[in-house]
Amino acid sequence: MSELLKVHNISKTFRRNQVHALKNVSFECDKQDVISVVGASGSGKSTLLRIIAGLEIPNEGEIILEDNKINSSEVFLSPEKRNCSLVFQDFALFPNMSVRENIFFGKNASKNKPMIEELIEFTRIKNLLNRYPHEISGGQQQRVALVRALSINPSLLLLDEPLSQLDNELKHQVRNELIHLIKKVGATVLMVSHDIEDAMYMANKVLILNDGVVDQIDLPSKIFNLPSSSYVARLFGKTNILPFNDFSYIKHHFFDKDRNEEVVSVRPHEFKLNHSNPSSKNPEIKGKVLSINAIGAFYEILIDTGKFELLVHIDKVNQIKTADDLSLYIDKK
């Protein structure tokens, strides 16, 4: 078997409130995959990680990690016997233990001392070892939590929204550090993120959870360009969901359950002014500018075609104002 992790038909209902947090979730994870789990709040992301870590028991399904069954109808391996580590959203460092004690808390940590020393050097926390969690910054707590998680040399690292507690500036720095750390130790990672940018930067695969169901698992670029549902398309940034009937020259289309029709997703930047590429084969779209906002290097424009309202991003080099008539085309096959 080449997969490191196999999750097969996992379902979880919380008895207390009868919430079906996960429904028949199946996927596989290869060695050194970095899979980003993305979904709206309450879609079951943390529950999935907690089940894999052994902190929740699924009602149904099977999980195999490195050829060992860790969950099935007969088997439940306790968290400390699973070869995986979970880093919680709030890092969950022990407040009454020093950084050093936190890091060496794991049962097998003392066996991996040289590797841990190297991680401590790599993450630049050596001068913090005698401090307590409340005496270090959020970014530093994050690094300590990661080193602690890696101290048992897990075959799978589970990260629940690792960057969500950090402010924007720190986030970009920590994101890069995290990418380096993952590469350095060759970790296999399943990482929850509600930030699409994080997912795109860090992951080689993205798994989309929609109300406890896997909507799509794919390369980040495919999720962005070839979404399988309107939910997936919208999770990955602003888009126009339009009837396939009116835009049948766009190849990739999918069924929208709420609208009960086939639709296409056209991102705002995929609209172009017609004069900028007269050789375009796609049909002309005419519309009037309803509103216009200058956002960084582009205009965000709401356009009324008479049939649709379109959200369009156009380079600021163009002179455009409210009530202008525009001629556009979609630069996409």
Closest approach of ligand ADP to the CB of residue 186, in Å: 27
HSE-CB of 211 using CA atoms within 13 angstroms: 1
> Which two three-digit tokens encode residue 84?
């995986």
For Mg ion, the closer CB: 46 or 265: 46
**β-pair type (60-65, 68-71):** antiparallel
- For Mg ion, the closer of residues 192 and 266 by Cβ is 192
Q: Which does 139 bind (CB under 5 to 8 A by kind): ligand ADP, Mg ion, none?
A: none
List all residues 6 or more positions away from 267 whose beta carbon is below 8 Å from its beta carbon: 237, 238, 239, 240
In the complex with ligand ADP, the residue whose CB is nearer, 19 or 97, is 19
Q: Could you tell me which of 49, 51, 58 has the C-alpha nearest to residue 191?
A: 49
Q: Would you give the binding string for ligand ADP spanning residues 8-47, x where CB under 6 A is met? A: ------x-xx-x-x-----------------x-xxxxxxx
Distance CA 259, CA 17 (A): 30
Cα separation of the two ends of the chain: 39
Name which of Mg ion, ligand ADP, none residue 14 binds, using a CB cut-off of 5 to 8 Å depending on partner kind: ligand ADP
**Cβ nearer to ligand ADP, comparing 31 with 234:** 234
- Among Mg ion, ligand ADP, none, what binds residue 255 when CB lies within 5 to 8 Å by partner kind? none
Ranges assigned E (strand) in the chain: 3-14, 19-30, 34-38, 60-65, 68-71, 84-87, 156-160, 189-192, 205-210, 213-218, 240-243, 254-256, 261-266, 271-273, 285-295, 298-304, 309-315, 325-330
Q: Does 43 bind Mg ion (CB under 5 A)?
A: no
According to CB under 5 A, which one of 46, 71, 123, 210 is a site residue for Mg ion? 46
Q: Binds 17, which of Mg ion, ligand ADP, none (CB < 5 to 8 A, cut-off by type)?
A: ligand ADP
Residue closer to Mg ion by CB (options 27, 247) is 27
Shortest separation between residue 1's beta carbon and Mg ion, angstroms = 30
Smallest gap from residue 286 Cβ to ligand ADP (A): 42
Beta carbons within 10 angstroms of residue 93's beta carbon: 22
Beta strand pairing call for 205-210 and 34-38 = parallel
Task: Determine the interface stretch with Mg ion among 22-30, 42-50, 139-147, 253-261 (rule: CB under 5 A).
Answer: 42-50
Q: 46 or 210, CB closer to Mg ion?
A: 46
CB of 163 to ligand ADP, least distance (A): 15
Q: Can you read off the two tokens belonging to residue 104? A: 């060496």
* Of 80, 73, 36, nearest in space to 54 by CA: 80
Residues of this chain that bind ligand ADP (CB under 6 A)? 14, 16-17, 19, 21, 39, 41-47
